[in-house]
Structure 1
Amino acid sequence: MNFRNLDELTALCESRELSIGKLMLEEQSAESGRDAGLEFRTMADYYRIMKEAVQRGLTEDTTSRSGLTGRDAQRVMAFGQSGELSLGEHAGNAMAYALAVSEINASMGRIIATPTAGSCGIIPGVFVSCQERFGWSDEHMVYGLFAAGAIGYVIANNSFVSGAEGGCQAEVGSAIGMAAGALVELRGGTPKQAVHAVGLALKNTLGLICDPVGGLVEIPCIVRNGFGSVTALAAADMALAGVRSVIPSDEVIQVMLEVGSAMPEKHRETAGGGLAQTPTGKAIMSQLRKKK
């Protein structure tokens, strides 16, 4: 790629007069040696799978093999239809859709890792709910996925996207940043505004540990996807309103690297600390061992 950080990405977009998504499509085509049309169709297939996961999570039995999780997305949707959601319909749908995809993952269904399986619900939750609200075409959404990919590329190459390396800030945090930046672009914001959204989002998840109960990507991973989708919407709104990340987003990414590197091993996907080692977490672990 011809960019290593978000500053360089923004400068390239401005010099070529391209959106982040369209620039990333060109860069991806050049990197892979494949036709841009083929790259676009591949990403369109990924988006179709995301939408299918949302629908399945809202209509099918998503009880996980462990029996610990399932059907929470459907509970949130039903509560939303009663008109009781404090968030309002749009944010409530984003939250429910994110839960739906994450529950499909936990029940061994097909998802797209964005950027990981543990954070797979955030981008679909944000994208599908916003597509419904604003009436955007699938083509528009695919360019948004390329924008999210460009942001994820920068984060992955300058910090972490793996919970085992950098905690949940690296998985859920990165997904929130990717979704927020891409949403700014989908809504007509500039590359600079999109990059500010990334910094605003990442700052809100710094230090988030990875503490999966029983070592499974279920508790608390699924609900963190739901919360993450709402945070992404908020970060995008802030950036579109003109709120800046006073600490440049590239520097925020470096802080994520610093914090993740300093994080104790027990808080990096080992189930050795955090919620996994609460009395209830330990009891669940014991029950799972007996089942095996």
Structure 2
Amino acid sequence: MSFLFNDFKGWKALCEKEGALLYEPVLNYEIEQKGATAAAIWSGLASAYQVMKEAVETGLTEDMISHSGMIKNGAKKVAKNKTVVLSREFQTLIASALAAKEVNSCMGRVVAAPTAGASGILPGVLTTMQSIHQVDDKKIHEALLISAGIALILEQKASLAGAVGGCQAETGSAAAMASGSIVYCLGGSIDQVFNAVAITLQCMLGLVCDPVAGLVEVPCVVRNASAAAIANSSAQIALSDVDSVIPVDECAEAMGEVGQSMETRYKETAMGGLAATKTGQTISKRVLIQDIDMLDEE
């Protein structure tokens, strides 16, 4: 019987009991619960990562202007900017996360990991890390399995949907998945991987979902970049053996509690936060008029 990913504590205990690598229980879960073969799973992971890499490349090279006009080639502007805030690597990270998410906002092909609204985080983090540390694709694929296990637990203890738990459930979960992936790829222990997840959740706790005009564009795209940065900072902290103090399972439960307490207008309804600002409402009306005009033309 495969492990059902009810908690991180049980995942760790299983690995220690069976001498398994962290990704192996996830692989077994997919085989037993989904009826997939190991070969098909590895092939699917390779395909998914290829799509992630292509999304980053597309966002950095092709014209990314959304129908609403709110997205206007932001990734390319960041990538080409001669003013470097920290390092070229950090600039690449931010540009790559923006790029993949802009592809989503412009109706391109992405991997919803765990959602389309957070689809720039894992691609931005993994491709940048791979470039810096020369991590092979096999290790990346293993990390994607681990990130899936993290998502399975967060889904049960909290949520992965902005409509249920706010943006903390989407970009927060994706950042936690990415942070754990970084630590695994760089040789971290199980405790360090889960500590990175806990630290990330602490940093993302309470983030509302307030899409302007109801579109997954503003502030969603820039939040993907910020979440990618948080994923890296959390991984650095965890790899340095700085304790999260609050255990990862309790952090996940806290995210669930915050999500339940969050008012409806902050859960993807476009009724609160940035969506409710004067400018946000003006944009919403303009987008609505554009959509009506398009229907009339048809």
TM-score by length of 2: 0.95
Q: Which one-letter code corresponds to 1:131 in the other structure? A: Q
Q: Deviations over 1:83-116 (max 9, x none)?
A: x222312222111111000000000000000100
Q: Offset of 1:157 from its aligned partner?
A: 1.4
Aligned residue number for residue 36 of structure 1:
38
* Aligned match of 2:187: 188
More off after superposition, 105-114 vs 137-146: 137-146
Which residue type is aligned with residue 207 of structure 2?
A: L
Could you tell me which residue of structure 2 aligns to residue 4 of structure 1?
6
Deviations 1:133-169 (A, max 9, x none): 1111111111110011110111011111000000000
Let me know the Cα RMSD of the aligned residues.
Answer: 1.0
Query: Quick check: 1:112 aligned with 2:111?
Result: yes
Q: Which runs of 5+ in 1 are unaligned?
A: none
Match of 1:201 in 2: 200
Q: Secondary structure at the match of 1:123?
A: helix
In the alignment, what sits opposite 1:47? 49
TM-score normalised by length of structure 1: 0.97
Whole-angstrom CA distance in 1 between matches of 2:21 and 2:88: 29
In structure 1, what is the equivalent of residue 17 of structure 2?
15
**Which runs of 5 or more structure 2 residues have no equivalent in the other structure?**
292-298
- Greater Cα shift, 139-148 or 9-18: 9-18
Q: Are 1:25 and 1:40, in contact at CA under 8 Å, matched by a contact in 2?
A: no
Report the alpha carbon displacement of residue 18 of structure 1 after superposing the two structures with TM: 2.6
Q: State how far apart, in whole Å, the 2-side matches of 1:239 and 1:196 are.
A: 6
Q: Per-residue displacement from partner, 1:35-60 (whole Å, max 9, x unpaired)?
A: 21211111110000000000000000
Matched position secondary structure for 1:20: coil
- What is the DSSP-based 3-state SS (H/G/I as helix, E as strand, rest coil) of the residue aligned with 2:218? coil
Structure 1 residue aligned with 2:154: 155
Within a 5 Å distance, the mapping from 1:14-93 to structure 2 comes to 14-79=16-81, 82=82, 84-93=83-92
Between the aligned partners of 2:18 and 2:230, the Cα distance in structure 1 is 31
CA–CA distance in structure 1, aligned partners of residues 16 and 243 of structure 2: 18
Number of equivalences? 289
| Cα shift readout 1:23-45 (whole Å, capped 9, x = no counterpart) | 31222222222221211111110
Q: Percent identity?
A: 39
Q: Following the alignment from structure 1 to structure 2, what is the Cα–Cα distance between the partners of residues 24 and 289?
A: 43
> Hey, what's the Cα distance between the residues in 2 that align with 1:122 and 1:249?
20
- Mean CA deviation greater in 11-20 or 275-284: 11-20
| Structure 1 Cα separation of the partners of residues 253 and 156 of structure 2 | 11
In the TM superposition, 1:242-281 aligns within 5 A as 242-281=241-280
Structure 1 residue ranges (4+ consecutive) displaced by more than 3 angstroms after TM superposition: none
